[in-house]
């Protein structure tokens, strides 16, 4: 497990001590969550290289996801996982269809049939992994928690018989919680000797272009490798409710063995003004690393806020 830079992630009042003798962690729907409309589609932006992202308004459309365990009739079942920190075990779940039957057929999206995102409710301990499904539709993978707290689990998949969905539940992990500090805007990160800078302004209601540049020892990194069918993978979570946004780089899918860098650009839609947590996965020398940022989405025509890098912040964990 690699430790990416967690820059300015926000704190949540998590001064709760869960009983160490608790059984398998309970998986529940986030309070106040409402089912997403059935007509929604995956909020991924693919913009041709060299083109400007379309400035078509997204206000009033469904570009937020990951706020409910149910979407378009598909439901994320109970998530079972170890109940305490350091306990080796298995994280497992199923996805059921509108007839309440386990789904066993999924379309491949970005080289995987399902993407599992796990992050603590304060934005720390981010993981992007890919479990394995058995013949009965049960997804699972080995799992150990590094820290106590309440975690959001997102299943991002495209059932072959329906629409792409992003379903979510929460899992509680027993132990003393040490929350991270409040989020501050930060557009730079360092992880394992790589420096990553984020450029561009996220504007609510439109598709915005964000560009990352990867350097090492002051020199541009031109050996970025294809990962999940692209040169980078970006997940954005809205501060406050952890609504899930998904973006991928501009350009065509790279061929195996083809390198690129030092920059990768993304088209991203922010549905509302406010703060967003961004997690960039990039691969060099067969190793995937994660850089974390905090950005502010402005309203139409509003000036961009000054960047304020956060200091004294423990890096979030990330598994593959």
So what's the pLDDT on residue 306? 56
Q: Tell me: pLDDT of 3 over 70.
A: no
Concatenate the DSSP letters of all residues of 76-129 into one string. E-PPB--SBBT--EEEEEEEE-TTS-B---B--BTTBSEEEEEEETTS-S-EEE
Q: Which fold has domain 188-297?
A: Immunoglobulin-like (2.60.40)
pTM of this structure = 0.76
Question: Which of 303, 319, 305, 13 has its CA nearest to residue 186?
Answer: 305
Instruction: List, in order, residues 6 or more apart from 190 with CB less than 8 Å away.
Output: 5, 196, 291
Tens-digit pLDDT profile for residues 102-148:
999 999 988 899 999 999 999 999 999 999 999 999 999 999 999 99
d(CA 11, CA 50): 38
Instruction: List, in order, residues 6 or more apart from 69 with CB less than 8 Å away.
Output: 29, 33, 75, 76, 167, 168, 169
Question: The tokens of 274 are what?
Answer: 């406010």
Q: Tell me: pLDDT of 18 over 70.
A: no
> For the chain, what are the domain ranges?
188-297
The percentage of the chain sitting over the pLDDT mark of 90, rounded to a whole number, equals: 62
């Amino acid at each position: 497990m690699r430790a990416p830079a967690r820059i300015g992630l926000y704190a949540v009042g998590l001064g709760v001590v869960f009983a160490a003798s608790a059984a398998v962690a309970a998986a529940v729907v986030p309070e106040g969550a409402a089912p997403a409309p059935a007509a929604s589609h995956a909020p991924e932006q693919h913009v041709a290289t060299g083109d400007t992202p379309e400035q078509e308004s997204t206000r009033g459309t469904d570009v937020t996801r990951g706020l409910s365990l149910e979407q378009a009739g598909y439901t994320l079942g109970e998530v079972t996982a170890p109940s305490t920190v350091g306990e080796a075990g298995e994280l497992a779940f199923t996805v059921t269809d509108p007839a309440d039957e386990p789904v066993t057929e999924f379309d491949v999206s970005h080289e995987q049939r399902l993407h599992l995102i796990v992050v603590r409710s304060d934005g720390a301990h981010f993981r992007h992994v890919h479990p394995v499904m058995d013949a009965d539709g049960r997804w699972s993978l080995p799992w150990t928690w590094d820290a106590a707290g309440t975690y959001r689990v997102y299943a991002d998949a495209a059932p072959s018989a329906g629409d792409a969905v992003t379903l979510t539940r929460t899992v509680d992990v027993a132990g003393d919680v040490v929350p991270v500090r409040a989020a501050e805007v930060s557009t730079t990160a360092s992880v394992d000797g790589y420096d990553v800078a984020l450029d561009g302004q996220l504007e609510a209601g439109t598709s915005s272009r964000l560009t990352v540049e990867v350097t090492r020892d002051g020199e541009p990194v031109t050996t970025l490798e294809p990962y999940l069918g692209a040169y980078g993978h970006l997940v954005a979570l809205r501060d406050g409710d952890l609504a899930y946004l998904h973006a991928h780089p501009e350009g065509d899918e790279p061929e195996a063995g083809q390198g690129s860098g030092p920059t990768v650009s993304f088209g991203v839609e922010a549905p509302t003004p406010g703060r967003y947590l961004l997690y960039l996965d990039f691969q060099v020398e067969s190793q995937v690393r994660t850089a974390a940022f905090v950005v502010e989405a402005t309203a139409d025509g509003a000036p961009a806020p000054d960047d304020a890098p956060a200091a004294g912040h423990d890096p979030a964990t990330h598994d593959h």
